[in-house]
Structure 1
Amino acid sequence: MTHASAPPQITEPSPSLLRLAGFPYFLIAFIARLPFAMMVVGVLTVVVSARGSLSLGGLTSAAVGLGTACFGPLLGAAADRFGQRVVLVVLALANGAMLLLFTFVVYGEAADGFVLLAAVGIGATAPQVAPLSRSRLVTIIADRMPEARRAKTVSGTMAYESAADETVFVFGPFLVGILASAFAPWAPLVGAAVLTVVFVGAFALHPSGRHVSQDRDADGRAPSAVSELFRPQLLIVVLGILGVGIFFGTMLTSLTSFMADRGAPEQAGLLYGVMGVGSAVLALGVAWLPPSFSMRARWLIFAGILLAGTLLLGFVDSPGTMMLALAIMGIGIGPTLVTQYSFGAARSPRGRSATVMTMLGSGVVVGQSIGAAVAGEIAENVGTSAALLLPMIAAFIAFGAGVANWALSSERRTRSSVTA
């Protein structure tokens, strides 16, 4: 007797994140970041042109960063509480209006104090597209992907998001220069207002905006208590990313001073791009690192490379040697930032992922603002050599936080938290 054999079962592979979110999502989320990248430089450009004061321009740019840093985590908490869609729609309209209002104020007869107040309003209403995109994608991964693929997908997602941020922050100032040169100094802010309303609005209304974490609603559990946001394992990540932000601010400012001493301050951006390109490429490469290369080890090693690159700043004496130091720093900074965001995603309390991501994003902004302000004062009053010491201090903060993170985590706990 013969028995009919059962046909082999074909299991379809689980869909990728690109398929789950859709390609239009990534395109919209990328363009929606541009206005934020244009704001600080656009504000500086229009204030210097309209008011003729470089000092006021610098203060105004810092005011934008201050508004973002103070209100960013609150907006993240609101997104966790009320959902991203309603919060982003309100912010898209409010921020577009604030950009136009600032343009009218700066060209009007209002006192400088009102200009600074309007700048704080721009930062306070800035849509937190980058951290909210991270939160949204991590939620999709946790809810709709098999557990075995989550850790690698989260790592790859953080790598892409960091590379996207760096690309936008290179292209944003470039777009400001084009619009200001082709039309008028106010054009970048008007352009940013249009992009905010259109693309941040599209980002808010994208179907993924309705996606809610299973941890929050499926079993009826409420989000974790606010006190969970102040655990040492999470605060050390905030400290580490603050060090990265300080590095960004001090490095660009001291590099500008370095090139100004050689009569070519306008070339500082070109040299800075050497670090930015390498950082973006290496950030994307983190997704292909083997699982045996643990996250806490990545933080230490890549932050160590960053620290080693900054130590070379004590010996640079030409644009060529500066370029070499920046290239080494680029190897370390991108993967360090990706790893920190990955730790933030892994350690986010239930229902608080948007809050954590905006905390980390605000840490970068605060550090960058503090670093730029301090480095500018030291470069002007003490000298470039003293200013070049500041990136070393910032890199040491990032590395020291990595050492503390090693002590606060274990291999088993780190790996399990990523897939939890």
Structure 2
Amino acid sequence: MHKPAEPTLIQRTGFLYFPLALVSRLPYAMMVIGVLTLVVSARGSVELGGLNSAAVGLGVACFGPFIGAAADRYGQRPVLLIVGAANSVMLGFLAWVAFSDLPIAWVFLASFLSGATAPQTSPMSRSRLVTIVKTELPPVKRPRTLSNILAYESAADEVIFVFGPVFVGLLATTMGAWAPIVGAAVLTLIFVTAFALHRTGSPERTAGASIGEVAPSSELFRPGLIVTVIGIFAVGVFFGSALTSLTSFMRDRGDAESAGLFYGVMGVGSAICAIGVAALPERFSLRTRWPIFAAIIVVGGVLLQFAHDIPSMMLALAVQGIGIGPLLVTLYSFGALRSPSGRSATVMTLLGTSLMVGQSAAAAITGVLADGRGTAAALVMPLAAASLALTVGVVNFLITPRDRRLDPPQDR
């Protein structure tokens, strides 16, 4: 008799899951830069654009964790179907109201509601895959498979968060500043709905645990997880400040709509390096990777201070890209390994929320600096964000036991 073949991740998800999960998170990554581009074009102010991006982040911050907690309790499918439909409506409303004669307060409201209804497909995808690995695959396969999927998911996020703005730039320059937000609404309606209906979204609880196995909420406040959340927040600050300062840089040259296209330069090395993290040896531990990758971003941030033309700007962004992708992989790996039992969707949504909040807050602050003190002042923000990531990485290095590597599920 032949021994039954051991189950694999692909058998459980199907091949179509991965492109579906990739495209369904694109609208989320388009929102901040899309709102920035929309409002700058419609209302003529980088400051107002940044503040509306911050309103998106505030909406995500207020409601994102509750969406994750609802998914842990009721299942991802009904939650995603409801918020996906609501988000499509809110994005459409935002695209209309920005160019209307209504006061700017209505634009702020629409931005906030767009963030509040963001579907959170990226953390939902992580939660699904982590749950499948931990509950359905043979124990011997779990550590390496978990490492691979976390590397893939972080690389996918990196690709989307870098090329989302490129897509925004393409739509804005070819069709108008309204097009990215309308496009995000259409993509949400189609692909988030498909993601919700995928067979991996059917379990009643994405954490795969019964009520009795769900860890108390106090487990979410462990020092290791708090430090990880702060690290993700710093990455979000980097994304938002780099994007907004680049928009100001290009506006000085009369071409603000092209900022998203030039921002894609950072994505090439970033995506390649993020995918390559899975091949790094285990002896190069997570606790060591964090400060090293953050230090590379700091170097790029220093180069940014001397960027006075487009080639030097592209060089600085390329250097930062080498560090930002692997750092994102490292942070999400810590998040997955430190998730309390039954709280997978909550933790992943919390990390995604922190990323968006950091991005939105930085967009607002950087926009104010750009309008009030000029592009040179705005370019300091990405360096400050990188320095914060490095500082928190050093703290994490000190509080993480020396012998922990890539696959200790008990590490919290």
> What is the Cα deviation at residue 399 of structure 1?
1.1
Cα-to-partner distance string for 1:101-144 (whole Å, 9 max, x where unaligned): 33454455543322311221111011000111111111111112
Match among 306, 314, 319 for residue 297 of structure 2: 306
Q: Which amino acid aligns with 2:358?
A: G
Tell me, in whole angstroms, the C-alpha distance in 2 between the residues paired with 1:270 and 1:175. 8
Q: Which amino acid aligns with 1:302?
A: F
Q: Hey, what does 2:329 align to over in structure 1?
A: 338
Trace 1:248-263 onto structure 2 (pairs within 5 A).
248-261=239-252
Cα-to-partner distance string for 1:377-402 (whole Å, 9 max, x where unaligned): 22333343333332222112111111
Deviates more, 1:207-216 or 1:346-355: 207-216
Q: 1:388 to 1:192 in 2, by over 3 A?
A: closer
Q: Hey, what does 2:186 align to over in structure 1?
A: 194
Match among 144, 149, 152 for residue 157 of structure 1: 149
Q: Hey, what does 1:128 align to over in structure 2?
A: 120
Q: 1:38 to 1:369 in 2, by over 3 A?
A: closer
Trace 1:155-234 onto structure 2 (pairs within 5 A).
155-177=147-169, 179=171, 186-211=178-203, 212=205, 216-217=209-210, 221-234=212-225
Matched, 1:64 2:56: yes
Match among 258, 265, 273 for residue 264 of structure 2: 273
Q: Hey, what does 1:291 align to over in structure 2?
A: 282
> What is the Cα deviation at residue 338 of structure 1?
0.4
Q: 1:37 to 1:383 in 2, by over 3 A?
A: same
Matched, 1:138 2:133: no
The gaps in structure 1 that reach 5 residues or longer are: 1-6
Q: Which amino acid aligns with 1:154?
A: L
Q: Hey, what does 2:226 align to over in structure 1?
A: 235
Q: 1:258 to 1:201 in 2, by over 3 A?
A: closer
**Which secondary structure state, in structure 2, belongs to the residue aligned with residue 417 of structure 1?**
coil
Matched, 1:390 2:381: yes
Q: Hey, what does 1:80 align to over in structure 2?
A: 72
**Which secondary structure state, in structure 1, belongs to the residue aligned with residue 25 of structure 2?**
helix
> What is the Cα deviation at residue 78 of structure 1?
1.1
**Which secondary structure state, in structure 1, belongs to the residue aligned with residue 195 of structure 2?**
helix
Q: 1:11 to 1:31 in 2, by over 3 A?
A: same
| Aligned-pair Cα RMSD in Å | 2.8
**Which secondary structure state, in structure 2, belongs to the residue aligned with residue 136 of structure 1?**
helix
Q: 1:112 to 1:374 in 2, by over 3 A?
A: closer
Tell me, in whole angstroms, the C-alpha distance in 1 between the residues paired with 2:331 and 2:268. 19
Which is higher, the Rg of structure 1 or of structure 2? 1
Q: Is the 8 A contact 1:99 1:193 kept in 2?
A: yes
Q: Hey, what does 2:19 align to over in structure 1?
A: 27
> What is the Cα deviation at residue 412 of structure 1?
3.5
The number of aligned residues is 410
Deviates more, 1:236-245 or 1:34-43: 34-43
Matched, 1:363 2:354: yes
**Which secondary structure state, in structure 2, belongs to the residue aligned with residue 410 of structure 1?**
coil
Tell me, in whole angstroms, the C-alpha distance in 2 between the residues paired with 1:71 and 1:32. 19
Q: 1:279 to 1:209 in 2, by over 3 A?
A: same
Q: Hey, what does 1:111 align to over in structure 2?
A: 103
Deviates more, 1:300-309 or 1:277-286: 300-309
> What is the Cα deviation at residue 336 of structure 1?
0.7
Q: Is the 8 A contact 1:246 1:367 kept in 2?
A: yes
Q: Is the 8 A contact 1:307 1:396 kept in 2?
A: yes
Q: Is the 8 A contact 1:140 1:213 kept in 2?
A: no
Q: Which amino acid aligns with 1:330?
A: G
Q: Is the 8 A contact 2:131 2:208 kept in 1?
A: no
Q: 1:239 to 1:270 in 2, by over 3 A?
A: same
Cα-to-partner distance string for 1:61-100 (whole Å, 9 max, x where unaligned): 3322221122111111111111111111111121122223
Tell me, in whole angstroms, the C-alpha distance in 2 between the residues paired with 1:391 and 1:104. 32
**Which secondary structure state, in structure 2, belongs to the residue aligned with residue 23 of structure 1?**
coil
Q: Is the 8 A contact 1:275 1:326 kept in 2?
A: yes
Tell me, in whole angstroms, the C-alpha distance in 2 between the residues paired with 1:30 and 1:229. 27
Q: Hey, what does 2:342 align to over in structure 1?
A: 351
Q: Which amino acid aligns with 2:159?
A: T
Q: 1:350 to 1:28 in 2, by over 3 A?
A: same
> What is the Cα deviation at residue 289 of structure 1?
0.9
Deviates more, 1:179-188 or 1:247-256: 179-188
Deviates more, 1:160-169 or 1:229-238: 160-169
Deviates more, 1:42-51 or 1:294-303: 42-51
Deviates more, 1:148-157 or 1:74-83: 148-157
Q: Is the 8 A contact 2:235 2:358 kept in 1?
A: yes
Q: Is the 8 A contact 2:248 2:256 kept in 1?
A: yes
Q: 1:123 to 1:214 in 2, by over 3 A?
A: closer
> What is the Cα deviation at residue 305 of structure 1?
1.8
> What is the Cα deviation at residue 249 of structure 1?
1.7
Trace 1:365-384 onto structure 2 (pairs within 5 A).
365-384=356-375
Q: 1:251 to 1:107 in 2, by over 3 A?
A: closer
**Which secondary structure state, in structure 1, belongs to the residue aligned with residue 212 of structure 2?**
coil
> What is the Cα deviation at residue 357 of structure 1?
0.8
Matched, 1:328 2:294: no
